């Protein structure tokens, strides 16, 4: 078994970002939302699902909310069990395969008549993706030493952006130039993209699964370990009260995650509906954002080395807040609206990777150093993020259904950034170890 801090172990851990980030880019952000909007759009804007009528975009946000609510509910239990019996890898593999197979099933979402396929399997794919990340994030303290975690966390995100951009470029060529591949059905190219994501995700994950350790703390399962999973959660929940700085960070993290994750999920639909960008322009913009995000994750990692995690996070939160507010000022009749949208996209790209990698590494630095319950502690981190997304996507959907305006939804989300900035300002550099 490779030792903690070993370069090969660190690279194999980070490589899971290469494997799974194609889901977050192609399915969550780029191709699937645009495809969903195209095949479900009607003059009334309404679709029927399970006997009820919904605004088509609101239905999609509700489906996402449900998936994140399920992950928030099950991840503390699963991670508590995983910490107790030492088999995080088994759970990580299960959710990885659930997600990748569900993504491939989206191939059969051909239009409004198979809406149930799109909704059900997008929910399952989301559960698989985020469920696997509970255990992936929990491995960070076991593969890297304290002073390595900023760089290792950033390496994972950089691998993720690089891998997902490569696959998106291939998918983009299919969507925009289907004749190159002998494709005449307008729905076939994006549906093939869904297949490629599932194959890429499960295939490249094998390198990670080959080297990740099992049962680092040599725990032996005992009778009633399921019940002990709940006891572990209760114990860590009590311990959180001993670390008010950790609670403050989680509060701020919740507030800015409401905005970050919801905007990432809804950006393409916003661009298509509110700005009038074409599919090609949207995917090209997202491709640009990903490339900028690679540089951003690296640059802000270096900045955090100089001025500290919290100050760097405050900068990224402020930029997110200003960019999201700026989106509400865009007017599709403005001749320069496309350029302004690209500029805002570049700003978000610069801080998108930075805020995610800094959040993960900052939280790991604030954890009690002597804990062996890394998965259980990280479950609170992941649950906080999932509940934030539940709240954010639900707010977005409800406000859209009531006002028929995505700009109003985005305006409300921008307020969460400015509130989180205030909360995180209570954390000082002296609160960090080392």
- How does pLDDT run across 254-287, given as a tens digit for each residue? 999 999 988 888 888 888 888 888 887 888 788 8
CATH number, domain 7-431? 1.20.1250.20
What is the model's pLDDT at position 12? 92
In whole angstroms, what is the distance from residue 80 CA to residue 230 CA?
Answer: 7
In whole angstroms, what is the distance from residue 186 CA to residue 195 CA?
Answer: 16
Confidence check: pLDDT of 295 > 50: yes
Q: pTM score, two decimals?
A: 0.80
Confidence check: pLDDT of 434 > 50: no
As a residue count, the chain comes to 434
Segment 175-202 shows an average pLDDT of 92
191/156: higher pLDDT: 191
- Among residues 386, 367, 352, the alpha carbon closest in space to that of 254 is found at 386
Percent of the chain with pLDDT over 70: 90
In whole angstroms, what is the distance from residue 296 CA to residue 350 CA?
Answer: 4
Contacts of 186 (CB under 8 A, 6+ apart): 178
Confidence check: pLDDT of 79 > 70: no
What is the model's pLDDT at position 375? 64
What is the model's pLDDT at position 223? 61
Confidence check: pLDDT of 229 > 60: no
Segment 372-387 shows an average pLDDT of 75
Segment 188-205 shows an average pLDDT of 96
Query: Residue 6: which region, alpha, beta or left (left: phi > 0; alpha: psi -120 to 50)?
Result: beta
**What Cα–Cα distance (Å) separates residue 52 from each residue in 47, 49, 393?**
8, 5, 19
Confidence check: pLDDT of 156 > 90: no
Confidence check: pLDDT of 24 > 80: yes
């Amino acid at each position: 078994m490779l030792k903690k801090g070993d370069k090969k172990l660190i690279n194999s851990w980070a490589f899971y970002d290469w494997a799974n980030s194609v889901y977050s880019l192609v399915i969550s952000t780029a191709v699937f939302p645009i495809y969903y909007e195209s095949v479900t759009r009607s003059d009334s804007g309404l679709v029927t699902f399970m006997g009820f009528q919904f605004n088509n975009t609101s239905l999609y946000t509700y489906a996402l909310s449900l998936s994140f609510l399920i992950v928030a509910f099950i991840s503390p239990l699963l991670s508590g069990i995983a910490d107790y019996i030492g088999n995080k890898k088994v759970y990580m593999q299960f959710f990885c395969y659930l997600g990748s197979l569900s993504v491939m099933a989206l191939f059969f979402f051909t239009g409004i008549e198979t809406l149930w396929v799109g909704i059900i399997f997008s929910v399952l794919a989301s559960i698989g993706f985020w469920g696997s990340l509970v255990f992936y994030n929990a491995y960070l303290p076991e593969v890297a030493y304290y002073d390595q975690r900023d760089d290792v966390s950033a390496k994972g995100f950089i691998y993720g952006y690089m891998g997902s951009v490569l696959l998106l470029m291939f998918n983009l060529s299919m969507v925009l130039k289907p004749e190159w591949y002998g494709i005449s059905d307008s729905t076939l190219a994006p549906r093939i993209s869904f297949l490629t994501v599932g194959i890429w995700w499960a295939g490249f994950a094998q390198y990670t699964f080959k080297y990740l350790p099992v049962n680092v703390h040599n725990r032996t399962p005992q009778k009633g370990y399921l019940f002990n999973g709940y006891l572990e959660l209760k114990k860590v929940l009590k311990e959180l009260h001993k670390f008010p700085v950790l609670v403050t960070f989680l509060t701020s993290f919740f507030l800015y995650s409401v905005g970050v994750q919801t905007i990432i999920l809804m950006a393409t639909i916003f661009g298509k509906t509110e700005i009038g960008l074409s599919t090609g322009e949207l995917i090209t913009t997202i491709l640009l954002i990903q490339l900028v995000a690679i540089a951003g994750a690296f640059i802000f990692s270096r900045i955090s080395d100089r001025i500290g995690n919290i100050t760097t996070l405050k900068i990224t939160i402020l930029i997110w807040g200003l960019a999201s507010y700026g989106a509400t000022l865009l007017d599709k009749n403005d001749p320069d609206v496309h350029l302004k949208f690209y500029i805002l996209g570049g700003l978000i790209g610069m801080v998108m990777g930075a805020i995610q990698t800094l959040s993960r590494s900052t939280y790991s630095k604030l954890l009690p150093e002597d804990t062996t319950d890394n998965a259980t502690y990280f479950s609170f981190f992941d649950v906080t993020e999932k509940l934030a997304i539940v709240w954010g996507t639900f707010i977005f959907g409800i406000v859209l259904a009531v006002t028929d305006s995505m700009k109003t939804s985005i305006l409300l989300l921008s307020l969460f950034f400015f509130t989180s900035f205030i909360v995180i300002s209570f954390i000082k550099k002296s609160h960090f170890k080392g």
